[in-house]
Structures are given as C-alpha cells and as structure tokens.
Amino acid sequence: MKKNILEIQNLHASINNVEILKGLNLSVNEGEIHAIMGPNGSGKSTLSKVIAGHPLYSITEGSVKLNQEDITYCEPEERANKGIFLAFQYPVEIPGVNNIDFLRLAYNEKQKKNNQPELDPLSFFDLINQKAKQVNMNPEFLTRNVNEGFSGGEKKRNEILQMALLDNKLSILDETDSGLDIDALKSISTSINNFFSSQKAIVLITHYQRLLNYIIPDFVHIMQNGKIICTGTAELAKQLEKEGYNNLLKMKNN
C-alpha cells in the first residue's frame, strides 16, 4: 500500500481575522503528483503557505498531517526538517547574501537536524554544481546574491535548484510555471520530472493547463473560495482549459 504523505482535514485558516481557507480536505500519497488549480484569489497560495507554517496565518480548525504525524501547530523550520519544501509564487530577493552560502546554510541545517554530516564549502561546491547541472542552471547564478536581479524565470529555476538540493519528501510548487517562456517551461518541467520518484509527492499549484502537458498529474483539484470543490484526473484540467472556470464551476454547482 502507498504511504500517506500529506493528510489535510477540514482545514480552516485566517489572516488578519479574515478566513481564507474554509474547510479544505486533501490527501496525498507517496508517488503521486497532485495539481491544484483555481481562479485568482481562491486561496491556493494561502494553502501552500499554511502547509509550510507561515507565521502570519492562523489555523482555526482542522488538521495537517505529514507522514501520519500531526504538524498543525509546528514551526516552519520543523516542517521543513520533517520533509516539506515550498517553492514560492514570488521568490524573495536577499541582497547581500550569496546564493551558494545561502544554499549551504539551508542544506547543512537540514543535515544537522537529521543527524547527517554537514558539508564544508569545498565539498558543497561540488554537490551544488552537480545539482545546478541537473536543473540546467548556469553556475554563474550560484555566486550571485539570492535572486537579486534574477529574471522571473531565473528565480523560478533557483527555487527548483533548492528543491533538488534539499530533496524533501513533499514539494509544493506555487505557480512555478508563471512567467516562463515555453523553452524554460519545458526545461523546468523536465527537472521536476527527473527529481520526482515513487517515494516522493509533489503538489503543483498552477493556473494553466499547459504545465500539465509536461508534468502529468495523478489528480487535479479545483479550488474555489477556500475549498477544494472538485477532483478529477488530468482530463479535468483539459476540460477546464476548454470551458473556463466560470462554466465548469456553474456546471458543478448545479
């Protein structure tokens, strides 16, 4: 039997006392890719940040389990160490912090928490160059400051580099496809497919069906107003592309 990686039950979450997630359920097993689609403002990014433990959101009801362990009230660092990776919709620039130093810090922090050996700068240099090659990134980006002056696509690729390096069980990718031209989209999709394995799970948040031509999801969920209102296979995304959200939601609501 496939192991459950993420189990979300009746999740309600608010920011500034405004409820955004309103009773969301989601179950993700290892070896599965789930796509979450939905109109702007339906709460997709909120969901990703709540799963990762963003401190500005409060969970008011329901639970989140990772590998059958309740993490509803865990700190974000703990969640990361237990195996959650989140690629942000809007990756932040960190001026003055060198990308390779930042990546080594993140990597060593995880190694330490898992009682694994930390890497000195030289050994890390070899590892990160190998990972950069895997995700098709020019190594020049390693010596620049984190995301500073990176184009939209370069920032997204840097997130994928972090994903490949940290090698977590659950990766949540929030609109990794937005702002990518078709070549970058294909190349990033290939990196994601190569990274994926039967022991991992990926939650892809996307607005557009086109990403799902390159990364085939096992399940597609549609979110509206803080809930998953319908679940299907990759076909559902194609139907959505044809009909648009409004028509599909009208059909489902009738």
* Interface positions with ligand ADP (CB under 6 A): 15-16, 18, 20, 38, 40-46
Residue type, 152: G
Q: Which of 82, 86, 7, 30 lies closest to 54 in space, CA to CA?
A: 86
Residues 151 to 190 in contact with Mg ion, rule: CB under 5 A? none
The verdict on 46 binding Mg ion (CB under 5 A) reads: no
CB of 45 to Mg ion, least distance (A): 3
171 class by beta-carbon count within 10 Å (0-12 exposed, 13-18 middle, 19+ buried): buried
Closer residue to ligand ADP in complex, CB, 13/160: 13
| Among 14, 45, 162, 187, interactor with Mg ion by CB under 5 A | 45
Q: What are phi and psi of 231, to 5 degrees?
A: -130, 140
Question: Closest separation between CB of residue 18 and ligand ADP, Å?
Answer: 4
What is the spatial distance between Cα 89 and Cα 69, in angstroms, rounded to a whole number? 27
Nearer to ligand ADP, 54 or 144 (CB): 54
Nearer to ligand ADP, 16 or 198 (CB): 16
Tokens of 212: 């799902």
Q: Which is nearer to Mg ion, 89 or 168 (CB)?
A: 89
Reduce the DSSP state of residue 250 to 3 states and report it.
Answer: helix
Binding range to Mg ion, per CB under 5 A, among 40-48, 134-142, 148-156, 217-225 = 40-48
Give CA angle at 115 (199, 86), nearest 5°. 50
Considering the complex, state which of residue 137 and residue 211 has its C-beta at the smaller distance from Mg ion.
211
Smallest separation, CB 112 to ligand ADP (Å): 32
Distance in angstroms (rounded) separating the CA atoms of residues 65 and 46: 17
Looking at residue 173, its amino acid is L
Count of residues near Mg ion by CB under 5 A: 3
User: What's CA 74's distance to the chain center, in Å?
Assistant: 18
- Residue 15 or 229: the one with the smaller Cβ distance to ligand ADP is 15
Q: How many helices (H) and strands (E) does the chain have?
A: 7, 12
Distance of closest approach, residue 37 Cβ to ligand ADP, in angstroms: 9
Minimal distance in Å, beta carbon 20 to Mg ion?
Answer: 11
CA nearest neighbour of 147 among 185, 80, 97 = 97
State in angstroms the smallest separation of the CB of 199 from ligand ADP.
28
Which residues of the chain form contacts with Mg ion (CB under 5 A)?
44-45, 89
